[in-house]
Structure 1
Amino acid sequence: MHRRTFFKATTGIVAAPFISKYAFADDTIKVAAIHDVSGVLDILGKPMASMVAMAIDEINQAGGLLGRKIELVNFDTQSNNQLYGQYATEAATRYRVAAVFGAVTSASREVIRPILRRYKTLLFYSTQYEGGVCDRNIFCLGTTPGQKTVKIVPYAMKKFGKRVYTVAADYNFGHIVSKWHKKVVEENGGKFEGVEFFPLEQTDFGPTLKKIQSIKPDLVMADLVGSNHIGFFRQWTAAGMSGRIGLASTIFGTGNEQLFTNPAEHNGILTSATYFPEIDTPQNKEFVARAAKVTGTDRSPINELPAMSYYAPKLWAEGVKAAGTFDRDKVIQALEGNLTYNGPGGPVTVDGKCHHVSHDIYIAQAKNHSFELLEKYDQLPPSDTAAVCDLAANPNDTKQYVLGN
């Protein structure tokens, strides 16, 4: 399957903003989606943008909010962080949106977060990330290491062994998560053998594979991001390392790596997420069927990132309904009342003090282009961020707290 053929051309997302059919009508309220729909991060951004659009469509089909339809303005940042700043400013000042759903990477989030705070435009961030963001103007729906890393690393160590090496993307996410790997490995009696970081443009992993063969760890934690990094898993198998050294990740599948590799290249890789299309409930089966109409494929590319991107407008809508207004401050106050959205993968409940959410967490293993669910942990709180962030006590805090700082 070609990585650019998941989504139908009718999604209406282009480099410049596209306004929905409700544009500029008096009975509408604007929101924006800002994602990498093209470029090296399109395998992440494209499904996220499509699921925001699907959620907004469903809200409108159900009658809208407070008697008004929702007008979605989509921006394609083309995997270019400079465009994030430009489009966030445009969304807030030209279109005066009530909320922004978006940013794909942690780096792009940190571009738009201060801009949207300055313009008092509410941000919903749906990517699983390194945790620690403490800012009253953002709600983070993605999972954090205190929910995922603390579960999958001990699970993988028990299966494969206690000597662990990490490979990760070379930006703030990879650097901070690798610290979590080291922390959790050592807390569980293991030995952290080292870490190597790769820019998103990296395609050749041969020297790294030779290094890993020399070190001979029991387990490699691979937190790699984007289409270029899929080459690591292909080259891993080509080097004859499958089955010889355990392979696990906190994010494998968020780029649909299981669809872009063959079974020999991905079978047995452990991963963790709050959402998998294989969750066996009537609500999720119905959601997957609806999403298939958007994606145009029976092989579902919906994973944690697009699922949480779908949740985000629905959670915002719950806040609007509870507040009885689109006013940012009142919506924030409503969401801080520990609101819950019961989504297709399970409920998420806002922690009002840190603006993150509780999640059901699954451990799964890749198998024949899909995932086999192995373990479930119910409603894990965002304990890592909650331990350092108390917006009730410090509402003007805007810091991102980092492990060890």
Structure 2
Amino acid sequence: MSLNRREFLGRSAALTTASLLPYAAYAADTIKLGSVLDTSGIFDAYGKPMDQAMRLALKQINDTGGLLDRQVELMAYDTQSDMALYSQYAQQLTRQDQVDVVHGGILSASREAIRQTMRKSNTLYFYNVQYEGGVCDRNIFVTGVTPAQQVAVLVPYAMKKSGPKVHILAADYNYGQITARWIKKFVEDNGGEVVGTDFFPLDVSDFGSTVTKIQQTAPDLVVAPLVGGAHLSFFRQWAAAGMKDRIPLASTTMGVGNEHKVLTLEEGNGIMVAYNYSQELDTEANKVFKDQWQAEYGDTTSIHELAVSTYQGILLWAEGVRQAGSVEHDAVVEALETGISIDGPAGMVTLDPQTHHATLDVHIMEVENQGMTVIETLPQIAPVDTQAVCNLQENPDDNQQYEIQI
């Protein structure tokens, strides 16, 4: 294959490898793992630690002999928080690079920008991010929490601490819109009432009028599935207005990208969250993982929920390859569909054959001193929202994201 100068420079600028393996290792038959993540741009706080987690997992795999006596070669593209680049690099990975698997995507829009490309090329795809649920596609495996695993436990806890009247603030794209409906469902299921719902584009950073509006609706609780650096301004402006000590906050996103670590104690303390992972988890598996991260990167400050979900996604895929004895697409899918489990930093992760989503431990937590203190652990919660609409064992050719009726 020949490349012109522009193509060569473009690929060289975008593509990085996991480690400088000896020439002989690359000359041999490697297994190719592709990555498309925002490691620069406005979503790099999510993407950079995910990239670090991927590289750590692959280093550990390669240092212990690789998979099937072959080294795993990482072909990673930085999508620069530009949705158009997701499509471009997905095609690059599947057509030119001919990778065996792709791990990547952060926003739901980025997942949908590349999912059909992966399916058409028969390239196995892992999406290692919490999202709104409903994707039903035999070619994809999802390792992040869905609303039935997260919102269903967070809302009752937060309402019990605060009261029945809830105001919702959400990012204005499909994750925020659908999650807001799930919040409303679980508020009403628990005897509460939603007194206001507001949506915000991802670039909005001025929430002054929103704070005033919430003062007028006078809720007992604000639940905020806000996303990205601009939306972080809400939490600062809420505290600056003296509201944090008057009306409690809960969020389905705060802390997933370590946002709680850039807020002051006055801004962050007391915010209620529920995730699969916290650095404060007091388990041997988490201690070992953090020690490994520390040895590789010098400190553990960058570890967050999406990084750990990525790390666990790599381990699940690797176990599927081992059990299949092959990287051939259908063989790996069939191995994963046996209900493979791994013990990760966040606990046991088990793939659900019906939906290709993960059954996970979920921890109710509160932000405290820029950490997330675990209040209660709910073990092995299944993705029952997606199970309600997706059954890949009965309908293996299904290929859509269902809008789950709430």
Q: Given the alignment of the two structures, is residue 141 of structure 1 paired with residue 143 of structure 2, yes or no?
A: yes
Q: Residue by residue, what CA displacement relative to the aligned partner does 1:131-158 show, whole Å, maximum 9, x if unpaired? A: 1100000000000001110100011000
1:61 to 63, 71, 77: 63
Q: Does the 8 Å contact 1:153/1:184 carry over to 2?
A: yes
**Partners of 2:380 and 2:165 in 1: how far apart?**
30
Q: Given the alignment of the two structures, is residue 240 of structure 1 paired with residue 236 of structure 2, yes or no?
A: no
1:282 maps to 284
2:370 maps to 369
Q: SS at the partner of 2:350?
A: strand
**Partners of 1:256 and 1:361 in 2: how far apart?**
17
Q: CA deviation at 1:242?
A: 1.0
**Partners of 1:86 and 1:36 in 2: how far apart?**
14
Consecutive aligned runs of 4 or more in structure 1 exceeding 4 Å deviation: none
Q: Given the alignment of the two structures, is residue 214 of structure 1 paired with residue 212 of structure 2, yes or no?
A: no
**Partners of 1:334 and 1:379 in 2: how far apart?**
21
Change (3 A) 1:52 1:164: same
Q: CA deviation at 1:297?
A: 3.1
CA RMSD of aligned residues (A): 1.4
Q: CA deviation at 1:207?
A: 1.1
Q: Which amino acid aligns with 2:184?
A: K
Q: How does 1:60-79 map to 2 (within 5 A)?
A: 60-79=62-81
2:200 maps to 198
Q: Does the 8 Å contact 1:15/1:76 carry over to 2?
A: no
Change (3 A) 1:223 1:113: same
Q: SS at the partner of 1:315?
A: helix
1:228 to 224, 230, 234: 230
Q: Does the 8 Å contact 2:386/2:404 carry over to 1?
A: no
Q: SS at the partner of 2:196?
A: strand
Sequence identity, in percent?
47
Q: Residue by residue, what CA displacement relative to the aligned partner does 1:99-153 show, whole Å, maximum 9, x if unpaired? A: 1111011111010101111111111011111011000000000000011101000
**Partners of 1:165 and 1:329 in 2: how far apart?**
46
Q: How does 1:109-188 map to 2 (within 5 A)?
A: 109-188=111-190
Q: CA deviation at 1:19?
A: 3.1
2:382 maps to 381
1:47 to 46, 49, 72: 49
Q: Which amino acid aligns with 2:16?
A: F
Q: Which amino acid aligns with 1:372?
A: T
Q: Given the alignment of the two structures, is residue 345 of structure 1 paired with residue 346 of structure 2, yes or no?
A: yes
Moved more, 358-367 or 24-33: 24-33
**Partners of 2:398 and 2:355 in 1: how far apart?**
10
Q: Which amino acid aligns with 1:189?
A: G
Q: Which amino acid aligns with 2:17?
A: I
2:265 maps to 263
Q: Which amino acid aligns with 2:338?
A: G
Q: Does the 8 Å contact 1:179/1:403 carry over to 2?
A: no
TM-score (norm 2): 0.94
Q: Which amino acid aligns with 1:346?
A: G
2:357 maps to 356
Q: CA deviation at 1:47?
A: 0.6
Q: CA deviation at 1:15?
A: 5.5
Q: CA deviation at 1:28?
A: 1.0
**Partners of 1:194 and 1:183 in 2: how far apart?**
14
**Partners of 1:214 and 1:101 in 2: how far apart?**
45
1:16 maps to 14
Q: Which runs of 5+ in 2 are unaligned?
A: 1-10
Q: SS at the partner of 2:237?
A: helix
Q: SS at the partner of 1:358?
A: strand
1:189 maps to 191
**Partners of 2:205 and 2:70 in 1: how far apart?**
47
1:4 maps to none
Q: Which amino acid aligns with 2:358?
A: V
Q: SS at the partner of 2:245?
A: coil
**Partners of 1:183 and 1:35 in 2: how far apart?**
32
**Partners of 2:192 and 2:80 in 1: how far apart?**
40
Change (3 A) 1:230 1:340: same
**Partners of 1:336 and 1:15 in 2: how far apart?**
37
Q: Which amino acid aligns with 1:116?
A: M
How many residues align? The count is 392
**Partners of 1:14 and 1:400 in 2: how far apart?**
34
2:5 maps to none
Q: Which amino acid aligns with 2:97?
A: Y
Q: SS at the partner of 1:189?
A: coil
Q: CA deviation at 1:14?
A: 8.6
Q: Which amino acid aligns with 1:212?
A: I
2:107 maps to 105
TM-score (norm 1): 0.94
Q: How does 1:84-103 map to 2 (within 5 A)?
A: 84-103=86-105
